Every structure is written in structure tokens, then in C-alpha cells.
Chain A
Amino acid sequence: MDIFIQQLFNGLTIGSVYSLVALGLTLVYGILHIPNFAHGALYMLGGYVTLTMMVYLGVNYWISILISIITIGILSVLMDRLVFHPLRKSTPIQHKVAAIGMLLFLEALAQLIWGADYRQMPTPYGQVIQFADVTLTVQRLIIVVAAIAVMILLYLFLKKTFMGASILAMAQNREGASLVGINTNKVAVITFFIAGTLAAIGASLTSPINLVFPGMGHLVILKAFVIIIIGGMGSIPGAILGGYILGFSESIGATYISSDYKDIIAFVLLIVILSIKPQGIFAKGGV
């Protein structure tokens, strides 16, 4: 029983990070209508910016995260304006090629700037907490709490503000949104900004329990793809639910089936869900 609760918490930790990354990916999907492969690179750069602030400039952890959020948000917007926006009239395959190109470019760039070696991000919250028979660290608790807080804020923003409603409208029907007078350029910029911030938050929160290196984006982005397919492309609750489903299936599956089959479990789950609901758990664009 103890191990079950411990693994539940482990699943909650990774699930939270997966959800954050998948949320950014799913938001941008609403605009681009292709999965943005370069999202993993934004995640990686988010980790590096926070690391650079903390280690080289001695900035406080939370302020570093804030700087990282802003930097990556702007970078994400630039990516849209410089790469995707000029391509808006071309075919989806060109978007995909551009996205993969950005991913490779940003990874090579990170390696050039920071080198290929693993970097360690220190955390002021390394303390271990024993709670009943469950072991957690403060950093892990922060990951879970912060991720859930960010998700609630995002939900409120999308549901309660005019800008949020515009984003959802545009995800549902770009032309329709344009017809009722929504400034699609502005909405695209804001969507990309939010996606960038989510990637930066995810990376900054999780880096202290792992390491920062140029390939770190690959670790989560493949899983984020699975998540948004499970949850339904473009769906916000789908991304959140999908993230936690994957997190739990990894930790619980590794415990009760086999850790060697951990990834298989996730993909079998994907096949089962797609056989029952080919559009994913939530239909596209719905909240």
C-alpha cells in the first residue's frame, strides 16, 4: 500500500510537468494546426536561461524563473513572427519542416553557447519530507503545487477574459473568429507567448530534480505529443488529463507490471483510447 501511495505521488510529479509542456503544445496547435516540434527546444532553453541566471548571475530562484518565463515567451513569439507567420499561406508540410528546422537550430545553438555537458541546477528546496510512509522533497511539492496553480490561472484566463475567449474562438475556427472581428495576429502572438511561458515554467520547475543539457527537450516533447493525441489535439482539459494519465501509467505501470514495459504501457493506452475515441478524449477546441 505504501509503495502505491509513493508511486502515486511520483506519478503526480512527472504528470504535472508533462501537463505543463503538453498545454503549451496544445495551445499552439490551435493556431498552427500542426504540432510545434520546436516546443521541446523552448523547454530546453527555458531550463538554460534559469540556470544561467541562478548560477552565473546569482539571481534568486523565483526571479530567475520569472526572467526565463519572459525570455522564452518572447522567443516563442519571435519564432511565430519570423518563421511561422510568413509561412501562414503555405501547406502544413512546410510548417512541419520549419518546426523541425527550428528544433535542430536551437539545440545546436544551445550546445554552442553552453557546451554539450550536463549542468546541475541548484535548488534552495532540497529538503526531504517524510509524510507517513511517503517520501517527498520540497522541490517536488513545489512542482505539483505550482503546476496546478498555473493550470488554474490558465483556465481562468481562457474562460473569464475576453482575450482568453478570443484564443479559444480562434482555435475553434480561424476564419469565423476573423469574421467576428478578432485580431488574429494579436491572438497568435499572445498564444505563442503563453506557450513559451508554460515551457519555461515546466523546465525551470523540473530541472533541479534532473539536469540541464541540450537534449533535455526530447525527454518531454515526445511524451507531450502522446498526451495531446490522447487528450484530443487542441484540447486544454485533454492536455491536463492526458499528462496525468501518462504520469500515473508510467509510475504505477512500472511498479505493478514492469519498468521495462513502462513506455509500452503508455503506447498501448494510446492505441486503446484512439480505438474508442479516435479524436482523443476531448474533441478538438472544446474546453
Chain B
Amino acid sequence: MKGKIIRMLLVGFIIVFLSACIDSAGKTSNDKEEATGGENVVNIGYSGPLSGAAAYYGENTLNGLEMAVEEINEQGFEVDGKTYKLNLIAYDDKYLPNETAANARRLVQEDDTPVVFTPHSGGIAALQVFNEQENFLIGAYSSEPAITEAGNELTVRIPPSYDGYLEPFTNYAMENFGNKLAALPPVTQYGKDWAEAIKPYWEKAGGEVVHESAIDFSKDTDFFTFLTNALESNPDVLFIGGPSEPTAKVAQQARDLGFEGGFIVMDQAKLDEMKNVTGSYEPLEGSIGTIPLINANYPGTEEFVKKYQEKYNKDPGSEAGFHYLSMYIFVEAMKAAGNVEDATVIREHIQDGLESLPEEKKVYEIEKIDENGGFEINTQYGAVEGGKVVPVSGD
């Protein structure tokens, strides 16, 4: 008996001790941000991973939306003679498509949200099953081309699809380093799709794919084995990708093994996050990838980056920037449509919204929305030259 009590005390002590170690990482989502009373309010829905393995990513996407909503609410916006404010309602879906669907139903039925943002392709697909019937727009953040190819009338794909990266990445790497490519994509559907897209493109451009093997970041502890084999065929360029941090490790270890060529970095990995792992841009010299937002020079980027750093004390990634920008675009579209409720009407006026977007809000430059609902972005790419990221134009 006595032993049992001591044991229970010990367990209690450990729990208290451990909970004292917990820092603010376990932040919970703020369910409702009340707009000040008596005004007209438009509810905006969000469903994304706010807990679990992808929580960090989900938080970044939500930060962008929150920032835009706060700014817009300072003045409100006028539609059809009435002034409206936004009310962002965020639910956690733990990255699970079924949860995304349940959240969206709740958002649409309880709060009449004309727009639901979701930052993962699985969730988007789940919403596409019923969004046309229930008449709400999906603010779809995923570069998977399939989400717009399905022909859903009420989907707006926010980031560029990866198809657009093939040409500039291939041209840059081939011109600067040579035409032998070794592909080391991650073992994910997204990674495989990317590799399947870039290999034929590379060969069509006159190059040669000398080696290919997929890296499984959930199983492999060390990349020396892969890289030794890949470098044996003397490639000029390595195609790498996956989450930023392990991808950076792959690049670093390739340099350790004496690789001197360039890297084509899949859009999932971000050059600035990779630099946090390698310590400097030196090992990444000669990489081409999507441009880190902090290095981009669109009209509104600088101001956004500054405000974001002040508010959240860290550098914004593209996911925060795109969400911030698209919130503004949806508001402009509502203004142009003269309607804050009907998703179909709002969707029809997104092009007008893009055109009337104030210059200083252009964190990215979006020329138009294509017929399938994808934003056509004047894309900038980032290359690492001379120890820093330089923008490379898309043309």
C-alpha cells in the first residue's frame, strides 16, 4: 500500500515537472475573433492542421489570414452601400480530409461562410465533393495541378501549380551546370509526380537523366549511401526535395562528398528554411527553387514582410504571404460583385478583384485567374548565387 502511494506521488511529481517544461508550442486555435458589435459581418472559414505533425505549417497559413483580416477590419470595406467587417473562424482538421469536410459543413451551415480556406490537397478534394451544391468557394492552397483540372466551378487555387517550374528550373540548371541530372525525389506521391514531370522535360531539353532513386525521409537515417551512388554517375545537377530541413541535409551531405554542381529544389522545400539548417547559403550555391518570400521583390512584399516580422517575430513563408494576399483578393471580389454571400457571384468577379487590388497589397503579382480557377502568377524564382538568393525572372 505504502509503495503504491509513493508511486502515485512520483507519477504526480513527474507530470507537474514535465508540464512545467512545456513552452508555448501547444497553442490552441482562437475560435472566433469577434468583430465589433452592431456592424455587418462576413464570416470567413478556415480548416487546416492546427495540431499534430503539420501544426507548424497550419499556423503559418492562418497567420497570413489573421493579419489580413485585422488590417481590413481597421476600416472595414464597403459593399453595396453597407460597411462590412470580416470575422475569421478557424477550425483544426489535423490534416485529415474527413475532418476538413466536417469543419466546412459546420462553417457553411452555422456561419454562412462564402469562402473556406484549406491548405492541403486532401482536404480540398474532400470539399470539392459538395462545395458546388452548398455554394461556397474553396480557398485552395496546394500546388497540385489536379485540384483545378477536375473542373470544380468554385475552387480557387492560390499558389502556382508545379508545372510552371519545370521550364525555368531546367533552363537555369542546364545553362549553368550541364546536362546530366541525377534525380533524388522523396518517396511521396507529390515527390513522384514531380520527378515524373521533370525527367521527360529534362530529356526533351537535350539532357540526360543519369541516376534515379527515391529517398524515404520517414525511414532513412543517413543519405551518404544514396549520394555516393548518385555521384558515381557524375551528375552536373541534382534534383532534390521534400521537407526543407532534411532536404538541406541531403544538399549538405552531397557537398561533403565533393559534389560541385547545382541543385534543382522541388517547391516543397524553401531555400531560406534550408539555410537555417546548413548555416549559410554556401553549401546551396547554384540551387534553383521557389523564391523565399523575404527575397522576392513584388510591389507589396517588403511592407508585408516588415509587418509580419513585427507581429509574429519571424520571417514569413510563402504560405503566409499567399493567404494574406488572397484574403484581400476575395474582399476586392466581393466589392466588385456587390455581394458578400453568393459564392458563385463572388467567383465571377475574382478577375475584377485582381484588377482593383491596390498595388501595395501585391505580396505576389497575380495577373489573372484561369478558367479552371487557378491564379496565374507572375512567378519569380530564386537562385543561390554568390552566397545569397537572387531573384530569377520567369521569362
Contacts and interface: CB of A to CB of B under 8 A. Distances in A.
A260 to B, nearest CB: 6
A57 interface: no
A218 B243 CA distance: 17
A116 B23 contact: no
Interface in A144-193: none
Interface of A: 3, 6-7, 10-11, 13-14, 17, 78, 81-82, 86, 109, 111-118, 120, 128, 130, 135, 137, 140, 206, 209-211, 214-215, 218-220, 222, 250-251, 254-255, 258-260, 262-263
Given A211-B277, A255-B228, A135 B258 contact: yes
Nearest to B256: A128
Given A7-B228, A113-B23, A137-B256, A215 B246 contact: no
17 contacts: A7-B225, A10-B228, A13-B222, A111-B25, A113-B25, A115-B25, A115-B56, A116-B52, A116-B54, A130-B258, A135-B256, A214-B53, A215-B53, A219-B218, A220-B221, A255-B225, A262-B225
Interface in B210-260: 213-214, 218-222, 224-226, 228-229, 232, 243, 245-246, 249, 253, 256-258
Contacts of A130: 258
Interface in B158-193: none
A130 B258 CA distance: 9
Residue with the greatest number of chain A CB neighbours at <10 A, chosen from B10, B52, B225, B228: B225
Contacts of B243: 118
A113 B226 contact: no
A117 B55 CA distance: 9
B5 interface: no
Contacts of A114: 25
A206 B221 CA distance: 9
Interface residues of B, number: 38
Interface of B: 7, 10-11, 14, 18, 21-23, 25-26, 52-56, 213-214, 218-222, 224-226, 228-229, 232, 243, 245-246, 249, 253, 256-258, 276-277
A10 B225 CA distance: 6
A215 to B, nearest CB: 7
Given A116-B56, A210-B249, A263 B225 contact: no
Contacts of A115: 25, 55-56
Contact of A254 (B52, B229, B256, B276): B229
Output the residue of A128, A130, A206, A219 with the most chain B CB within 10 A: A219
B374 to A, nearest CB: 29
Nearest to A222: B219
Given A115-B56, A116-B52, A116-B53, A78 B221 contact: no
Nearest to B248: A120
A259 B233 CA distance: 14
B55 A120 contact: no
A3 B218 contact: no
Chain B contact residues, majority secondary structure: helix
Contacts of B222: 10, 13-14, 206, 209-210
A259 B225 contact: yes
Nearest to A75: B14
Q: Report which residue of A6, A209, A259 has the largest number of chain B beta carbons within 10 angstroms of its beta carbon.
A: A259
Contacts of A219: 218-221
Given A10-B224, A206-B222, 19 more contacts: A6-B228, A113-B18, A113-B21, A113-B25, A116-B56, A117-B245, A118-B246, A128-B256, A135-B256, A206-B221, A209-B249, A209-B253, A210-B222, A211-B245, A215-B53, A220-B221, A251-B225, A258-B213, A260-B213
Pick from B56, B213, B245 the residue with the most CB of A within 10 Å: B245
Contacts of A209: 222, 249, 253
Nearest to B7: A82
B219 A120 contact: no
B385 to A, nearest CB: 23
B25 A112 contact: yes
B221 A17 contact: yes
Contacts of B258: 130, 135
A274 B243 CA distance: 37
A217 to B, nearest CB: 11
Contacts of A135: 256-258
A116 to B, nearest CB: 5
B22 A113 contact: yes
Contacts of A7: 225, 228-229
Nearest to A13: B222
A81 B14 CA distance: 13
Nearest to A210: B221
Contacts of B11: 82
Contacts of B249: 209-211
Contacts of B257: 135
B133 to A, nearest CB: 35
Q: A-B pairs with the 10 shortest C-beta distances?
A: A118-B245, A259-B213, A115-B25, A10-B224, A251-B225, A120-B277, A219-B221, A10-B225, A117-B56, A135-B257
